[in-house]
Amino acid sequence: MGLSKVRLAEIMVEPYTIDKNEHLSTALDIIDKQKTRRLVVTNDGALYGVLTLRGLMKTLGEKRKATVPPSSLHVSACVSKNFETVEPDTSVKRAKELLCSGMEMLVCMEGEDVVGYVSPRQVLEAYQKYDKRAGKVEDAMIAPYAVSPKDRLVHARRIMIDNDVGRLPVLEGGELVGILTERDVANAMRTFKELVPTHQQENRIRLMLVEDAMSRAVVSFKEDEPLDEVSKVLLERRFGGAPVMNSKDELVGMLNRRTILNVL
Supply the pLDDT for residue 132.
81
Phi-psi region of 102 (alpha: psi -120 to 50; beta: other; left: phi over 0): left
Supply the pLDDT for residue 190.
86
| DSSP H or E stretch at residue 178 | strand 175-181
Cα–Cα separations (whole angstroms), residue 12 to 91, 121, 264: 11, 10, 20
Bridge partners of residue 40, in order along the sequence: 17, 50
Domains and CATH numbers, the chain: 3-130 (3.10.580.10), 137-263 (3.10.580.10)
β-pairing, 167-172 vs 221-222, is: unpaired
pLDDT over 70, % of the chain = 95
Bridge partners of residue 237, in order along the sequence: none
Give the span between the Cα atoms of 114 and 17, in whole angstroms: 10
Supply the pLDDT for residue 63.
61
Q: How many CB atoms lie within 10 A of CB 94?
A: 14
Give the span between the Cα atoms of 2 and 50, in whole angstroms: 31
Q: Are 243 and 166 within 8 A, CB to CB? A: no
Say what the pTM is: 0.89
Supply the pLDDT for residue 191.
86
Supply the pLDDT for residue 136.
96
| DSSP H or E stretch at residue 46 | strand 46-52
Statement: residue 219 has pLDDT above 60? yes
Give the span between the Cα atoms of 77 and 20, in whole angstroms: 8
In this predicted model, what pLDDT tens digit does every residue of 58-115 receive, in sequence order?
Answer: 888 776 655 666 777 899 989 999 999 999 999 999 999 999 999 999 999 999 999 9
| DSSP H or E stretch at residue 116 | strand 113-118
Q: Average pLDDT for residues 208-217, to the nearest whole number? A: 94
Give the span between the Cα atoms of 60 and 224, in whole angstroms: 38
Statement: residue 199 has pLDDT above 80? no
pLDDT band at 241 (very low <50, low <70, confident <90, very high): very high
Most confident stretch, 18-22, 53-57, 74-78 = 18-22
Q: Average pLDDT for residues 43-58, to the nearest whole number? A: 92
Bridge partners of residue 117, in order along the sequence: 13, 107
In this predicted model, what pLDDT tens digit does every residue of 138-186 receive, in sequence order?
Answer: 999 999 999 999 999 999 999 999 999 999 999 999 999 999 999 999 9
Supply the pLDDT for residue 67.
60
Supply the pLDDT for residue 1.
63
Go through the chain and tell me how many residues it has.
264
Q: Average pLDDT for residues 40-48, to the nearest whole number? A: 95
Query: Is residue 193 classed as helix, strand or coil in its secondary structure?
Result: helix
β-pairing, 38-43 vs 83-86, is: unpaired
Angle, CA 29 vertex, CA 27 and CA 31 arms, to 5°? 70
Residues with Cβ within 8 Å of residue 31, at least 6 apart in sequence: 37, 39, 53, 56, 183
Supply the pLDDT for residue 252.
98
